[in-house]
């Protein structure tokens, strides 16, 4: 028996401390390799730390809510040296006709993200079990903070047979029958699939477990949709599919995750009858980082802010056409997408705005890491899309949606909040017309998009009702002069007024 001291690791560049948010283990608990030990909050994001070894928890040295430095021992474990040495040995699992068929079907469903699973998988339980595949010496991949996975993970998955069964064509015939069943399920009418999904979702006590009615049909979803579902913690078997032939779309996953509204994480809390008149809350984590960054930015960079009202009628029409286009099916499209493309077009024409400043020199960036400010329960986060200037409209729309959703869910990684070159903040989603945004540290420009609403507007000498918004931009006046700032904002406004210019 040996003792393992678990020290707080460095989970991001330049981070020196973190707060303990929640322990997932207690003293006396038996912990498996890579099991989540604790959730911590850094100045960048929430991070779950997995265990590098298997053992028993002896001591928790830090309480929830405490902030400790990187390298501090926060947990002590007892590790059985013999068990640890044999941890990676492959353990063959025998299964005969007595195995539960429903369990086999469930295990088979995790074999791959791209192959649909049908009820035929349960039939394979009655067939003779082939020899288990030899375990690989390589790990299955990296985890969040770099401990890796076990050298030879145990598997309960039945090995795939590469040849004929001893009984002649029986094994292959069974496989052909299973493939035929899959094809029939994929070709089933959409209304039949929808009815099956409804039966599954309405099944009593259904908490993510497939019902017999649902097992008869596969979950049809592309690999990117499956990845998005995993990232958001969504069980695809619970999602009501609306795509052609019962396919699960991106909007289906987002709708089920209840992330469509920007106010999801800003709900009004219930009143506490016994609450104190005042509450002292320590400044730490994201709030401390935001405070330091804003003070540093405001009192080191001389801000200059410009405003312009824009007729966004054509932008709204363009957004509507994109939503109706088959090429953008399942993709969230909003005016923010057009503004983001307009910003990158304007940055190319005014490169000084896409730069960073130091007292000795300034650096022009030939790339755009576009920051998107996101309101979260932990405060304002500004993750950025790397090399956004290389993306088309569809790819950029997907990147914006996924980045903001991860930020609101607290899953943004530190690297996603570093290296930004320009930031957009969409205050219009909160009904605000305009504001004076503060520069993100290290950048010399930021743009705020106000709400888009009907207003009287003069068109060709006549008063008409148009969709109007206000664009506000702040700049570091040490580098961005008034003429450059004005030309940049005018270029953005020009694209918002006539988005067809993006096609030139």
Residues known to be catalytic = 477
What are all long-range contacts of 25-29, with beta carbons under 8 Å and residues at least 24 apart?
A: 25/57, 25/60, 25/75, 26/57, 26/60, 27/57, 27/58, 27/59, 27/60, 28/56, 28/57, 29/56, 29/57
Residue 377 CB contacts under 8 Å (≥ 6 apart), including other chains: 265, 266, 408, 410
C-alpha span between 260 and 334 (Å, rounded):
12
User: Three-state SS across 225-279?
Assistant: HHHHHHHHCCCHHHCCCCCHHHECCHHHHHHHCCCCCCCCCCCCCCCCCCCCCCC
Rg of the chain on CA atoms, in Å: 28
> Of 422, 429, 433, nearest to 474 (Cα)?
422
Rounded to whole angstroms, the Cα distance separating 162 from 158 reads: 12
Q: What is the DSSP letter of 409?
A: T
Return the H-helix or E-strand segment holding 108: helix 101-108
The rounded distance, in Å, linking the Cα atoms of 253 and 232 is 9
The DSSP bridge partners found for residue 374 are 381
């Amino acid at each position: 028996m040996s003792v393992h001291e678990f020290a707080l690791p460095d989970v991001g560049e330049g981070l020196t401390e973190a707060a303990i948010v929640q322990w997932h283990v207690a003293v006396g608990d038996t912990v498996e390799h890579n099991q989540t030990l604790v959730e911590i909050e850094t100045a960048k994001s929430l991070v779950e730390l997995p265990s590098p070894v298997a053992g028993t928890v002896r001591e928790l040295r830090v309480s929830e809510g405490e902030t400790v430095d990187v390298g501090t021992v926060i947990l002590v474990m007892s590790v059985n040296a013999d068990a640890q040495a044999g941890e990676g040995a492959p353990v063959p699992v025998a299964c005969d006709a007595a195995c539960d068929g429903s369990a086999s079907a469930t295990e088979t469903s995790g074999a791959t993200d791209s192959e649909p699973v049908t009820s035929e998988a349960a039939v394979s339980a009655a067939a003779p079990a082939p020899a288990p595949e030899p375990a690989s010496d390589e790990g299955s991949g990296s985890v969040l903070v770099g401990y890796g996975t076990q050298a030879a993970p145990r598997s309960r998955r039945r090995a795939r047979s590469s040849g004929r069964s001893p009984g002649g064509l029986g094994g292959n015939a069974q496989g052909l029958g299973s493939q035929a069943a899959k094809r029939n399920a994929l070709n089933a009418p959409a209304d039949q699939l929808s009815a099956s999904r409804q039966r599954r979702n309405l099944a009593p006590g259904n908490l993510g477990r497939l019902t017999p009615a649902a097992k008869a049909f596969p979950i049809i979803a592309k690999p990117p949709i499956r990845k998005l579902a995993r990232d958001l913690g969504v069980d695809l078997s619970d999602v009501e599919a609306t795509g052609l032939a019962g396919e699960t779309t991106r909007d289906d996953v987002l709708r089920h995750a209840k992330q469509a509204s920007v106010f999801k994480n800003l709900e009004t809390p219930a009143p506490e009858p016994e609450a104190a008149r005042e509450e002292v809350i320590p400044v730490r984590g994201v709030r401390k980082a935001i405070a330091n960054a804003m003070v540093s930015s405001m009192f080191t960079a001389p801000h200059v802010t410009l405003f312009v009202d824009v007729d966004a009628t054509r932008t709204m029409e363009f957004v509507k056409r994109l939503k109706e286009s088959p090429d953008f099916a399942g993709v969230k499209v909003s005016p923010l997408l057009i503004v983001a493309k307009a910003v990158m077009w304007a940055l190319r024409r005014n490169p000084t705005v896409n730069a960073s400043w130091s007292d000795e020199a300034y650096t022009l960036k030939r790339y755009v890491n576009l920051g998107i400010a996101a309101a979260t329960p932990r405060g304002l986060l500004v993750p950025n899309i790397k090399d956004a200037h290389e993306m088309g409209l569809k790819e950029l729309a997907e990147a914006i949606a996924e980045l903001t959703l991860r930020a609101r869910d607290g899953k943004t990684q530190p690297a996603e909040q570093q290296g930004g070159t320009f930031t957009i903040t969409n205050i219009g989603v909160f009904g605000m017309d305009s504001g004076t945004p503060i520069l993100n540290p290290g950048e010399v420009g930021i743009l705020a998009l106000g709400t888009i609403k009907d207003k009287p507007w003069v068109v060709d000498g006549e008063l008409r009702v148009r969709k109007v918004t206000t664009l506000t931009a702040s700049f570091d006046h040490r580098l961005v002069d008034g003429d450059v700032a004005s030309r940049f904002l005018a270029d953005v406004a020009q694209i918002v007024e006539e988005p067809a210019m993006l096609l030139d």
